[in-house]
Amino acid sequence: MPVSAARPCAAPGRSVRARSTAWSPEQIAHRFRIDYPDDPTMRISYEAIYQSLYMQGRGAFRCELTACLRWGLALRAPRERTCGRGKTLVGDAIMISERPPAVEDRAISGHREGDLILGLHSSAIGTLVERSSRFTMLLHLPRQEGYQRGQRGKNGSPLAGHGAEAVPTAIVQSMSELPATLRQLLTWDQGAEMAQHARLRIESGLEVYFCDPQSPWQRGSNANTNGLLRQYFPKGTDLSQNSVEELAAVAHAVNTRPHKTL
């Protein structure tokens, strides 16, 4: 089903405003200190909120509360089990170690991190996060005419919408109206969708750098944002069903909610 808006669980309480914007327990816990600065009874840790949602014994979430959580998972997995595998190395890649040191302090706008969120039947959405402002852009990657399930190719799934032709084209289109000062640099992982990074450099003016394999922390702002976006685009759903307008609505929701700085 297409995503039109977050649908938080209905429940009474003083955090209705926060729940209605799909805030996480950590964001709600911090907000209590702002909303009730003189009321020490309105203090709770985000871990306490998580623990209150757990059942005793196996630690499984109550089914009716699972949908309220950002990742929608019924169990907490150890952090080491959530690490992804490395992707195919792209040719002639300029590695992140060669990226200008000035990028690290986030003082200059126009430096972005990007990746794909994958869904059912080889569907995908592209994500771009500006490192200074954390402003998020979502790339519409519709399947192309003639797509068939099970197709494979050297540089991404042919006609699936997120191959080596489609992704650079979507990035160029998304940044076409931005001034040059806001499209300076892009950091991506070594996915096959970036096989045509040389074309992307020429057509967009972006300098493109690549993370080391299995190193999502090297684009931490993007990885964190992709986690937030999973609340709107759960795993196992067909992401190609989301329209440009629906992606814009989700991007607006993410850009207007509080973020942890990474």
Query: Quick one: tokens of 176?
Result: 């076409």
Query: Quick one: tokens of 91?
Result: 């040719």
What does residue 28 show for φ and ψ, rounded to 5 degrees? -65, -45
Give Cα 239 to chain centroid, integer Å. Answer: 13
Give Cα 50 to chain centroid, integer Å. Answer: 22
Residue 182 DSSP SS3: helix
**Contact between 139 and 172 (Cβ < 8 Å):** no
Locate tokens 């929701």: which residue? Answer: 253
Dihedral angle sign, alpha carbons of residues 144, 145, 147, 152: negative
Its pTM stands at 0.65
Instruction: Determine the Cα–Cα distance for residues 224 and 131; give it in Å rounded to an integer.
Output: 12
Instruction: Determine the Cα–Cα distance for residues 55 and 115; give it in Å rounded to an integer.
Output: 35
Query: Quick one: tokens of 64?
Result: 């009716």
Instruction: Determine the Cα–Cα distance for residues 81 and 134; give it in Å rounded to an integer.
Output: 27
Q: What is the pLDDT of residues 154-191, one digit of tens each?
A: 444 556 668 888 999 999 999 998 999 999 999 999 98
Domains detected in the chain: 16-81 (no CATH), 85-255 (3.30.420.10)
pLDDT at 89 over 60: no
pLDDT at 219 over 70: yes
- What's the N-to-C CA distance of the chain in angstroms? 31
**The pLDDT of residue 3:** 46
**The pLDDT of residue 70:** 61
Residue 4: CB partners within 8 Å, gap ≥ 6? 246, 249
